[in-house]
Structure 1
Amino acid sequence: MSNENYHHENLKAELIKKGLKLLDGEGYENFSLRKVAKACGVSHTAPYRHFDSKDDLIMAIAVEAQHKFNQCLVEAVNKYPNDNKSQLKEMGYSYVRFFVENPEYLRLFFLSDFANNIKKINHVTCIKDDQPFNTFYEAIERCQAEIQNREADSVDLNALALSCWGLVHGMAILIAKKDFPYDGDYLELVRKILWGGTFLNL
């Protein structure tokens, strides 16, 4: 079996995988289907069986990344089906862990020269139930409703969302970029902050 035939069996998945690495390393302007084809060991025309252009491939990369990220958050929610605060804490931990373990996704979503295009892709190609922000925001809404029902206090939904997101996003960036010096286990430190500190102590 030739190298190209071997790759053709799983060529689309391979193009997405290798494409992410190339996009992360070279940026949008230097990214091309020809380079991805070379990385996959196939002819320069092979990617066109699945993608019309480099933007088409980048869209597929973004959609797959969004799906993986959303699945991570959904799994966190499912661990605590009847505990809204624990859902948010576990989601926060999963958020940081996902981007620390996959820094290329962090750069793609938030730090790359294609990040603004990713935001547009979210609105066009991702269905509501598969968008990480919707999964997160729905958990915030459940937590807000619980607090207001129990304490009869008004809780600003957007303030709560920004507070939770800002904390975990900041930790993810600091750890992924190694800007916070620490000799211990970063993820254990994150769990300590989210579960043992004042996070969601409302």
Structure 2
Amino acid sequence: MNSNNTKEKIIHLTITEISNNSWENFSLRQVLRKLGLTTGAFYKHFESKDDLFKIISIEISQNIYQAILPTIRQQNSPQEQLLQLGKQLLVYFEKQPNLINFLFFNPSINSLYQATNPEQEHFQLYNLTVTIINNLLPQKTLAQRQEFLIKIWSFIQGYGFLIKNKVVAFDPELLKQTLNQLLGE
């Protein structure tokens, strides 16, 4: 098997497995068995399972970013962009719950969400969110924008978790009302 091809096959099968079964139930040994690879072959391409998860998180972030960017660009204001971003993410919680759950909650990327982490530049979806918030709140201090990011991100994750677990149905009006409340409107 070609070295680069092997790495790509591991990445793509891992994404498929996570999408179908969730990351909490992920088995690296099963992926390697399905590909006919040894753990030694895995470690030629990845430092660890966490390294694989970081790479996959970046790829999922890029895929979602590319899928939603055209819709975001069609919006006339940063507030409408943020609302549309929230809607799109909540639809992912509904339609692709395992992938979005992995992207938001797998512990291998917790450090990537910290403001000082240089690897953050690879997370286009997160960077888009930060850019929209900076454009939405240009008069606010950095600390105030970061606080707003935490609030809106927390709402989307929490609401998405409820949607994913079928506790509630997605209501775009609730998202809009919450955004308006967070903005003090």
Given the two structures, how large is their TM-score scaled by the length of structure 2?
0.70
Match of 2:109 in 1: 118
* Alpha-carbon spacing, 1:198–1:121, altered in 2? closer, same or farther (3 Å): closer
Which of 113, 134, 145 aligns to 1:157? It is 145
CA deviations over 1:24-83 (Å, ceiling 9, x no partner): 1525xxx43x3211123x232544553344333222212212222333453342122x42
Matching of residue 98 in structure 1 with residue 79 in structure 2: no
Match of 1:107 in 2: 101
Match of 1:153 in 2: none
- Retained in 1: the 8 A contact 2:10–2:31? yes
Match of 2:133 in 1: 140
* Alpha-carbon spacing, 1:37–1:162, altered in 2? closer, same or farther (3 Å): closer
Q: Rg: which structure is higher?
A: 1
CA deviations over 1:87-111 (Å, ceiling 9, x no partner): 1110110111123222223332444
Percent identity of the aligned residues? 21
**Equivalents in 1 of 2:74, 2:56: separation in Å?**
28
* Alpha-carbon spacing, 1:8–1:26, altered in 2? closer, same or farther (3 Å): same
**Equivalents in 1 of 2:133, 2:68: separation in Å?**
13
* Structure 1: runs of 5+ lacking an equivalent: 149-155
| SS of residue paired to 2:167 | coil
Which has the higher relative contact order, 1 or 2, with Cα contacts under 8 A spaced 6 or more apart? 2
Given the two structures, how large is their TM-score scaled by the length of structure 1?
0.65
User: Once the 2 structures are TM-superposed, how far is the Cα of residue 84 of structure 1 from its aligned partner?
Assistant: 1.7
**Equivalents in 2 of 1:198, 1:120: separation in Å?**
27
* Alpha-carbon spacing, 1:165–1:53, altered in 2? closer, same or farther (3 Å): closer
Match of 1:152 in 2: none
* Alpha-carbon spacing, 1:12–1:89, altered in 2? closer, same or farther (3 Å): same
Q: What is the correspondence of 1:15-54 to structure 2 with a 5 Å cutoff? A: 15-20=10-15, 21=17, 24-26=23-25, 31-32=27-28, 34-40=29-35, 42-44=36-38, 45-48=40-43, 50-54=45-49
- Retained in 2: the 8 A contact 1:92–1:194? yes
- Retained in 2: the 8 A contact 1:72–1:98? no
Match of 2:52 in 1: 57
* Alpha-carbon spacing, 1:160–1:176, altered in 2? closer, same or farther (3 Å): same
Letter of the 2:155 counterpart: L
CA deviations over 1:128-183 (Å, ceiling 9, x no partner): 6x4433311221121123xx6xxxxxxx5345434433332222111111122x5x
Aligned alpha-carbon RMSD (Å): 3.3
Structure 1 segments of 4 or more deviating over 6 A? none
Match of 1:166 in 2: 154
CA deviations over 1:107-131 (Å, ceiling 9, x no partner): 32444xxx33212256353426x44
